[in-house]
Amino acid sequence: MISIHNLPKEYEYDVYSLAKAFCPGEDICFIEGAMDAVDDAQGTRYYVNLGEDSFRLEITDIESGDSRIYEEATGEKYDYKNAWKLFYYNCLSDYYGRTLPWGNLTGIRPSKIIMKLMEDGMEDAAIYEEMENKHKVSPSKIQLGIDIAKREKKLLDPLDLKNGFSLYIGIPFCITRCLYCSFTSNLISKWEDKVDDYIDCLIKEMEGIRPITDKKVLHSVYIGGGTPTSITAKQLDRIIKAIYDNFHMDECLEFTCEAGRPDSFTKEKLQVLLEGGVKRISVNPQTMNDETLELIGRKHTSADIISAFNMARECGFDNINMDMILGLPGEDVKMVRKTLEAVSNLKPDSLTVHSLAVKRAAELTAYIEKKGYFLKSDLDEEMSLASVYAGRMGMKPYYMYRQKNMAGNLENIGFSHEGKEGLYNILIMEEKESIIALGAGSVTKCVYEGNRIERVDNAKDIKVYMERIDAEIKKKLDYLG
């Protein structure tokens, strides 16, 4: 347990995130007032004093009574809050005797920071200095960020982002719910008789927002979930036809559908996607170790993944992404290498490597508590291995993002062959244009001039979403109209 005392609420997010990054297995609580406010406190105590002239942090091991005090004059800081965050990171780094690959950065879009510096005219050397001095980012991660930002910029520069938008279609159904999943996902077996009603509402939402998209340029369409291919071929066809009926697809640069799980799609479904103009799909193993697949709730084997991938190739798909997750329970470097070898043999067009993030909604959280499993604090070797294999396949990193409670405080990276990048992935990370999201549990991002961003959430519960579909449409019209 880490108890954090006397901290203003506006600082809690960064303080929590960095404490969790250094101590992923610890529970963290915030306590107002003096150090002795809680008599039965255990573990480690941080006592914070943010003064006008100085920062002070006292870290105490409650059991031993050992205490370490850190103090620094604020001086004329460029930004008080960021100066405190840097001081706090340096304190934890000294106390725990290690650094974090991304330094004191707690946001999910480090490449966005670097992209902004590039747009401001900053050269690589100056970016290195900025990221190292202000954020303590490691040299390898700075270089990764620069490489990705340059590749993203090359793809985004030709686009009319001011007048453009992307479209997300949410299909919140799946065959089973994976142990680590925190997305809006419902068992298709319990909703089969309501899927057509859901699609009716989805189409109504498309029709409802059409007036605000008619004069805009549609850059990308992404059908996600859940697992979109958990519904029938006929239902997929209805959705795709509705997209063409309501949006100008003639200028659309990318049409993606998450095929995802091999136990969810058939040749008929793949043919519907291909004939409907879907050019990019994902066949996502997460791991090619059968024992892990069973543990995380996948009802298929690694052999099924290989068969599904080959089926997609035979149908004519020439842009297939595969996802894998590092840090799954029980997996070591040897098992990760096995997954990478199997993926390499299939020769996908892109590979997305995720560092496991345990979220509160995921069943994996309960599993960790029950089995005593903790997130690995160091996934550097696994991530480096994934980068090596991606390079051997001729791929380069093209986008990345980070999440809370991520194993090893690392990142998710998308690798791809030249020309096979996922444009939607870049657009949603860099937040350069509005992403209009339809369906239960989806989140629209409205991007305005001056980089102001507003989020418009749809109801997560399918029944509630369907009941209030008119209100969901009105919200989008109010924000985007």
* Residue 146 to residue 128: CA distance in whole angstroms: 9
* Residue 299 to residue 319: CA distance in whole angstroms: 25
Q: Which amino acid is at 456?
A: V
In a 3-state reduction of DSSP, which class is residue 89?
A: helix
What's the predicted TM-score (pTM) here? Answer: 0.88
Residue 276 contacts by C-beta under 8 Å, 6 or more apart in sequence? 236, 237, 240, 241, 244, 255
DSSP 411: -
Residues of the chain with pLDDT under 70: 33-41, 75-78, 177-185, 357-378, 404-409
Residue-level length of the chain: 481
Phi, psi of 102 (to 5 degrees): -105, 15
The pLDDT, as a whole number, for residue 180 is: 59
User: How many other C-beta atoms are found inside a 10 Å radius of the C-beta of residue 28?
Assistant: 18
The pLDDT, as a whole number, for residue 366 is: 66
> What angle do the packed helices 139-156 and 423-430 form, to 10 degrees?
110
* Residue 332 to residue 335: CA distance in whole angstroms: 5
What is the set of domains in the chain, with CATH numbers? 2-96 (3.30.160), 110-156 (no CATH), 164-475 (3.80.30.20)
In a 3-state reduction of DSSP, which class is residue 324?
A: strand
Residue 143 contacts by C-beta under 8 Å, 6 or more apart in sequence? none
* Torsion sign across C-alpha atoms 401, 405, 410, 414: negative
* Closest of 324, 260, 333 to residue 286, by C-alpha: 324
In a 3-state reduction of DSSP, which class is residue 237?
A: helix
User: How many other C-beta atoms are found inside a 10 Å radius of the C-beta of residue 210?
Assistant: 12
Task: Tell me the sheet residues that pair with 71.
Answer: 56
Tokens of 299: 């009802």
* Residue 356 to residue 358: CA distance in whole angstroms: 6
* Closest of 416, 418, 279 to residue 350, by C-alpha: 416
Structural contact between residues 214 and 398, judged by C-beta atoms closer than 8 angstroms = no
* Residue 233 to residue 244: CA distance in whole angstroms: 17
Half-sphere exposure of 227 (CA within 13 A, CB side): 26
Phi, psi of 270 (to 5 degrees): -60, -40
**Per-residue H/E/C for 360-381:** CCCHHHHHHHHHCCCCCCCCHH
* Torsion sign across C-alpha atoms 139, 145, 147, 150: negative
pLDDT tens string 129-186: 999 999 999 999 999 999 999 999 999 999 999 999 999 999 999 877 665 565 556 7
Phi, psi of 463 (to 5 degrees): -60, -45
Residue 365 contacts by C-beta under 8 Å, 6 or more apart in sequence? 358, 359
Phi, psi of 26 (to 5 degrees): -95, 140
